[in-house]
């Protein structure tokens, strides 16, 4: 019984070695060089897709389109200072805001988001975060 198991193990290792030799010969015949960028890193998440030139072009196109979006103006109603010397602003149709707040406005099917960077006696400083198209409502079936 031991001889049979030993023969099976030997046959298995020899066959796998032969397959690796044949695969090496095929690669040598076609003179294909393995590109290091095409080898998948086993430690990356399963769904990870490396950034390619086409993805970079798509990102550039999205940024270009976002620069064409006309962001609505925020109407400042007033600025005041709180007891702890922080400025607070009041925006029309939004309410009271403080530094660090993220605000959003929905207009013409697009949700616009800003981050309030700084509020001073001269006004507010904000950063545009995103402009996202809202989902269309489902039609009711009759």
Where exactly are the structural domains of the chain? Answer: 2-32, 74-133
| Beta carbons of 87 and 79 less than 8 angstroms apart | yes
> How far apart (Å, rounded) are the C-alpha atoms in residues 34 and 41?
14
pLDDT at 32 over 70: no
pLDDT at 29: 47
pLDDT at 71 over 70: yes
Q: How far is CA 3 from the centre of its chain?
A: 58
Q: Give the three-class secondary structure for 71.
A: coil
Q: What average pLDDT does this structure show over 13-21? A: 60
The reported pTM is: 0.52
Q: What average pLDDT does this structure show over 3-25? A: 64
Q: Which whole-number Å values give the CA distances from 36 to 24, 40, 67, 73, in the listed order? A: 17, 9, 36, 49
pLDDT at 131: 83
């Amino acid at each position: 019984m031991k001889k049979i198991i030993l023969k099976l193990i030997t046959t298995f290792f020899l066959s796998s070695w032969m397959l690796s030799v044949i695969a090496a010969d095929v690669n040598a015949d076609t003179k294909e060089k393995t590109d290091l960028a095409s080898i998948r890193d086993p430690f990356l998440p399963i769904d990870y897709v490396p950034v390619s030139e086409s993805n970079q072009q798509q990102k550039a196109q999205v940024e270009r389109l976002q620069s064409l979006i006309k962001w609505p103006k925020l109407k400042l109603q007033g600025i005041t200072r709180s007891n702890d010397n922080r400025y607070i602003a009041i925006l029309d149709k939004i309410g009271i805001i403080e530094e660090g707040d993220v605000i959003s406005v929905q207009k013409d099917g697009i949700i616009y988001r800003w981050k309030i960077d700084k509020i001073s006696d001269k006004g507010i400083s904000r950063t545009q975060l995103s402009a996202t198209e809202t989902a269309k409502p489902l039609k009711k079936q009759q």
